[in-house]
Homo-oligomer: A and B are copies of this chain.
Amino acid sequence: MGRSAVNVAGGKRGRITIHDVAAAAGVSISTASKALNETGRMSVETRERVKRIAGEVGFRPNALARGLLSKRSFTIGLLTNDTYGRFTLPVMAGISEALVDHGVSVFLCAIEDDPALGQTHVDAMLEKQVDGIIATGKRLDRQLPVDLSNLHVPVVYAFTEGTPTSVTFRSDDAQGARLAVEWLVKMGRRRIAHITGPEDFFSVRERAGAYRNVIGGEGVVMFGRWAEAWGHEAVAQIWSRQDEKPDAIFCGNDQIARGAVDALRERGIRVPEDVSVVGFDNWEIVAGQTRPPLTSVDMELKELGRQAGLTILALAEGRPVEPGVRKLPCRLVVRQSCGAQSPRR
């Protein structure tokens, strides 16, 4: 008891080591180690005493020393080229949430689209003995500008293109688009248009394909830019034509949807009474501030991050994981832009 107080200050640099705990408890460091780790066999009394004293002196095991032995650093790296963070932040939140209970911390490395910077960060992670790397990005059909194959540590891809033998998590954009269009149909809409982003995006083609499947025909698909201004322009184009006007618009993302809603309002067309609008991404800052707030497809990126985190953990622990692409379902978030009814999920 009295002796423990003497050692509270710890050795040099103020850090308390297992030696201090052992000395204070009057046992060897091996016994102290086993007591704290619930391994080995010893009297309950000894184990409890060591643990109590460790708590009293504020002992915190040095993860560096531990990692040196165990070959596990309880550290992973998250690599992203999405500097703006629109997609990376929810993914990061999911990873962190899944791993914090396992004592795993996450290095975040934003590499823009700079291969040299990417290599620097990968090298730094590897030297720090990360247990694995999760690569994430801003589009499903592009790889990060770094080579992550043959790395000696497991790699998982989330919301970015992976390699054929890796495990890759992505949103099921076709299913998400289906959700949106079927919802519009269920609201009684029959003339549904689709205003979306650049056709060279894989997800744009996926979403457009699903749109066509649901409406059972060619429909009206307008490819453009990921911008509010494009939503405006597209509405102007449609309403300047002679043909019958749509009673619903499925937009490729929330920014386009916001532009479309604003353009409709400025034309005196009511949303959702005259025209229903659905967005994609469920980006709160955009969807929530639109008048009226947008019903939108959420890609569940946090859940995607969580699964990527649990997978990298499994790989790091040597548990078997089936390689391949895993599509995660999207969810429709109902606000006011399609009418008041709530989904019957």
Which A residues are closer than 8 A to B by beta carbons?
13-15, 60-65, 67-68, 71, 73-75, 77, 83-85, 89, 92-93, 96, 100, 103, 105-110, 117, 120-121, 123-129, 152, 227-229, 255, 262, 284-286, 289
Contacts and interface: CB of A to CB of B under 8 A. Distances in A.
Contacts of A61: 127
A286 B84 CA distance: 13
Given A108-B108, A110-B92, A127 B85 contact: no
Contacts of A227: 289
A78 to B, nearest CB: 8
A73 B64 contact: yes
A38 B117 CA distance: 24
Contacts of A286: 285
Given A14-B152, A285-B285, A289-B228, A93 B107 contact: no
- Copies per complex? 2
A289 B255 contact: yes
A64 to B, nearest CB: 5
A225 B123 CA distance: 45
Contact of A60 (B74, B77, B121, B126): B126
Contacts of A89: 83-85, 89
Given A65-B68, A107-B106, A127 B92 contact: no
A60 B123 contact: yes
A15 B128 contact: no
Contact of A105 (B64, B92, B103, B124): B124
B100 A117 contact: yes
Closest 6 CB pairs of A and B: A108-B108, A63-B127, A85-B89, A63-B128, A64-B67, A105-B107
Which of A13, A61, A74, A100 neighbours the largest number of chain B CB atoms within 10 Å of its CB? A100
A338 to B, nearest CB: 20
Contacts of A84: 89, 284
A125 B110 contact: no
Given A83-B93, A100-B124, 14 more contacts: A13-B152, A64-B67, A74-B124, A75-B107, A77-B105, A85-B85, A92-B108, A100-B121, A103-B124, A105-B121, A255-B289, A262-B262, A285-B285, A285-B286
A317 B93 CA distance: 31
Contacts of A152: 13-15
Nearest to A258: B289
Nearest to A104: B124
Contact of A100 (B67, B105, B120): B120
A68 B68 contact: yes
Contacts of A123: 60
A127 B62 contact: yes
A96 B14 CA distance: 28
B96 A110 contact: yes
A129 B92 contact: no
B74 A128 contact: yes
